[in-house]
Amino acid sequence: MTTTATTKKTTLGDHPDCSWGPPLALDWEYENVLEGDVEEYEAGRAVRRLPRHMVQSAVSRRSYLKNVCGFSDDEVIAATKDAQAAKSKRNTTKALDKVHGLEVALSSVGRKFKRAVSKKSKDKKERDDHFVKQFTSSCHIK
């Protein structure tokens, strides 16, 4: 059985989970395509790395983006700001999500209260109309 592997370029990312500095991302463009037998590939590939071994510091990411990928300081700073803004929005959403259940419950109580009040006012209107009808019929007012 054969397999195809591509080598992707690295570019500035926008992922908000980057704790500090510019995030990295894979570009849509690929550099080369390798085709070969699956068994050969599995026999020759390196041992799978642990996630902690794949983490790069903000300094090394910034240096890589500027020196290897050719991004300017302004582009790296802009990407860092964009990622931090996205992270801030995500944290706001997480905080608001905690009160969402309370908001739904209060909204439900509000609707039930409005229905109860409007039913009472409808019942009162019906009683008033009935009283007026009886009064006008007993007084022979038309």
Domain around 70: 2-94
Least confident of 46-60, 77-91, 123-137: 123-137
Phi, psi of 32 (to 5 degrees): -155, 165
How far apart are the C-alpha atoms of 77 and 5, rounded to whole Å?
32
Q: What is the mean pLDDT of the chain?
A: 83
Helix-helix angle 73-139:58-67, to 10 degrees = 110
Q: What is the mean pLDDT of residues 123-136?
A: 70
The predicted pLDDT at position 32 comes to 80
Question: Quick check: 70 pLDDT over 70?
Answer: yes
47 assigned to some structural domain: yes
Q: pTM of the prediction?
A: 0.56
How far apart are the C-alpha atoms of 121 and 84, rounded to whole Å?
53
8 assigned to some structural domain: yes
The predicted pLDDT at position 34 comes to 81
Please give the tally of structural domains in the chain. 1
